[in-house]
Amino acid sequence: MNKRYIGALFLAPLLIFLFIGGMPLKILTVVLSLLGLYEFFKVVKQGKIKPFSFLAYALTLVYYFLLKTQINYDIFTLGLILITLLMLCIPIINIEYTFIDVAVTILGFIYVSVFFSFIVLVNNKTYGNYLIWFIFLSSWLCDTSAYYAGRLLGKRKLCPKVSPKKTIEGSIGGMIGSILACTVYGQILVSKNILNIDIYHFVILGAICGILCQFGDLVASSIKRYVGVKDYSNLIPGHGGILDRFDSILFSAVVVYYYLTLIIGI
């Protein structure tokens, strides 16, 4: 059997957690965050960087323990500043480490753990069990549409130095796929009286996700290219690691949360 199909079966239980939501989804997200952090730190170590892995794991657990229905930005900002201050003292005490190691440790925590947490935060919103699907549908349709549009129409390279196979035509196809996914799904929710939101919001949300999802993919590729690896790990057959599979979802989760919160006011 094709490894990608085996990998898809490996990921299938995720759908169950998305339907269940609540604490089971939060626990799964914590696990994904820790696995993603492990992959991220394992990869950057090949670039001669020495992150403080265990500090990031501990910070992740504390962050999720304190995370409720929304981020308490006062506590989060204070905690991040204090942690940064203390970590910057480590290279002075032990000169084997540098400020780069500190910076990458903090980046890993924000990029992986905090970005993953927006899945939980969207689920915690009113009608969150419906809203959470905007994160995944936009990402999945963007990836799929970009792949097939690139194969059929792709001629002009998008970012050849970062991801040689991606094309401008594929990128446009990906954005269209995300717009269609969000618009159709949003219209279904409106027609069933679950949401009362103007249709243009779904179009805009899909467009923003369609752009940022692709940046999420390219960011993950740029990190791997910097250290010279193909995948973050081989945890998921045919798909690579957690960050290989969730790179665009990390970005769409942030976009969906803040669009719903700041623009629509949910």
- Burial profile 12-41: b = 16 or more Cβ within 10 angstroms, e = fewer: eeeeebbeeeeeebbebbbebbbbbbbbbb
**This prediction's pTM:** 0.92
Tens of pLDDT, residues 27-85: 999 999 999 999 999 999 998 899 999 999 999 999 999 998 888 899 999 999 999 99
Mean residue pLDDT across the chain: 91
pLDDT value of position 9: 60
Taking 3-state DSSP, the helix, strand and coil percentages for the chain, each rounded to the nearest 5, stand at 75, 5, 20
> What is the pLDDT confidence band of residue 160, given thresholds at 50, 70 and 90?
confident
Q: Tell me the average pLDDT across 255-263.
A: 97
Q: Tell me the average pLDDT across 77-96.
A: 94
- Whether residue 250 is predicted with pLDDT greater than 90 in this model: the reply is yes
Collapsing DSSP states into helix, strand and coil, what is residue 192?
coil
pLDDT value of position 2: 45
> What is the pLDDT confidence band of residue 232, given thresholds at 50, 70 and 90?
confident
Left (φ > 0), alpha (ψ -120 to 50) or beta: where does 131 sit? alpha
